[in-house]
Structure 1
């Protein structure tokens, strides 16, 4: 089974009808660093995607697979590192878009376009990882709300606040 990095693109026309193409995506260290920056993760470990690609119809390819990883993110309240195991099923459909002169209309909800005739496997894996992790990770002991600091009396708008105070000269 061929192993690719996150820059992997597969020529859709290389997949023959009734054949299943199998591959693995394993990112390099530089690509892991890019993931950390792109998604604001603390760490991504053991990321592997095992994929099966089939041509299922004219100009249509299905990608099925499994994505596993260990991701560490910051709690949105405390900033505490939170580890999470990812085991995500990938199911995508790719189609070749035709030019505007084509008179046939097809509902294309839930499909991805080919990118210059290629299936962008790396981008698909990165987006799947982002979908698989908890969107707003929260530590179990985090407060339900954030307490604001008391208003300082030496801030630049103290004079304006005094003007807004109701006049208590009754």
Structure 2
């Protein structure tokens, strides 16, 4: 995700060597071909727009911090009617990346050597390799997190829905056929 060499539809590589503690400000926007690729990747009808305003700066000694905002306009299929549903995505980005082998990527351990992960704490940094990060892939990842997993039109309803009981769902007994047979004496 964070490497420029990854095969992602929306890519904007940034050389880590050009990043300092003074933030680099970027405005990136997906073109028509990139939006089509994102729609295929996300398995949705279309992506009409995707833009991101980012600030990228050094994080501690060898890490990179990306903060900003991503906006997208997408069309998905309604889970009930399969008709198009338009949606607007607005997501904040606060992401840290560190190079492979960095001490910042190590999971902290307690005195017994067990890994300590706080579910309410900050996310662990992502790892990047090489000399660049992919700001476009980061923006696309955060936009994907904002996709509605169950898009539904406001007027959509299950009209042919039939309720069944647990008794209806049981398989018939194989001896039910014998019940109708008459025994001749």
Aligned to 1:169: 180
Aligned counterparts of 2:158 and 2:13: Cα–Cα separation in 1 = 43
After superposition, give the CA deviation of every residue in 1:102-136 in whole Å (9 maximum; x if it has no partner): 8x944494311113232121211111111012111
For the Cα contact (< 8 Å) 1:47–1:69, is it kept in 2? yes
Tell me the TM-score normalised to structure 1 length: 0.75
1:14 to 12, 18, 24: 18
For the Cα contact (< 8 Å) 1:6–1:123, is it kept in 2? yes
For the Cα contact (< 8 Å) 2:45–2:77, is it kept in 1? yes
The runs of at least 4 consecutive aligned structure 1 residues that moved more than 6 Å come to none
For the Cα contact (< 8 Å) 1:10–1:119, is it kept in 2? yes
- Counterpart secondary structure, 2:44: coil
The structure with the larger Rg is: 2
Deviates more, 1:106-115 or 1:52-61: 106-115
For the Cα contact (< 8 Å) 1:6–1:25, is it kept in 2? no
Over the residues paired in the alignment, what is the CA RMSD in angstroms? 2.9
Aligned counterparts of 1:165 and 1:23: Cα–Cα separation in 2 = 73
Aligned residue pairs: how many? 150
For the Cα contact (< 8 Å) 1:77–1:146, is it kept in 2? no
Structure 2: gaps of 5 or more residues? 1-8, 109-116, 118-122, 163-170
After superposition, give the CA deviation of every residue in 1:71-119 in whole Å (9 maximum; x if it has no partner): 11101121011111111111110111218xx8x9444943111132321
